[in-house]
Amino acid sequence: MVYYKTKEARMASINIRNLQVLYTVNENLQAVAFWKCINTSEGNEDADDP
């Protein structure tokens, strides 16, 4: 029973960490899109669009 609780707590902490990472990645992607928008509006030639 103790193992089950610690395993659950470990999974919860891992999930929280993954959510924080996803949130940070999402913020970085928004910042990159913002700067790309500014650079392309200024006529930047080396903006690589997938």
In a domain, 21, yes or no: yes
Measured between alpha carbons, how far is residue 42 from residues 32, 35, 39, 46, 47 in Å?
Answer: 15, 11, 5, 12, 11
In a domain, 45, yes or no: no
Owning domain of residue 9? 1-40
Instruction: Please tell me the predicted confidence (pLDDT) of residue 27.
Output: 92
Phi, psi of 8, deg, nearest 5: -65, -45
Residue-level pLDDT, tens digit, the chain, 50 residues: 566 678 888 888 888 898 899 899 999 999 998 888 888 765 555 555 55
In a domain, 46, yes or no: no
Radius of gyration over alpha carbons of the chain, in Å?
19
Instruction: Please tell me the predicted confidence (pLDDT) of residue 42.
Output: 59
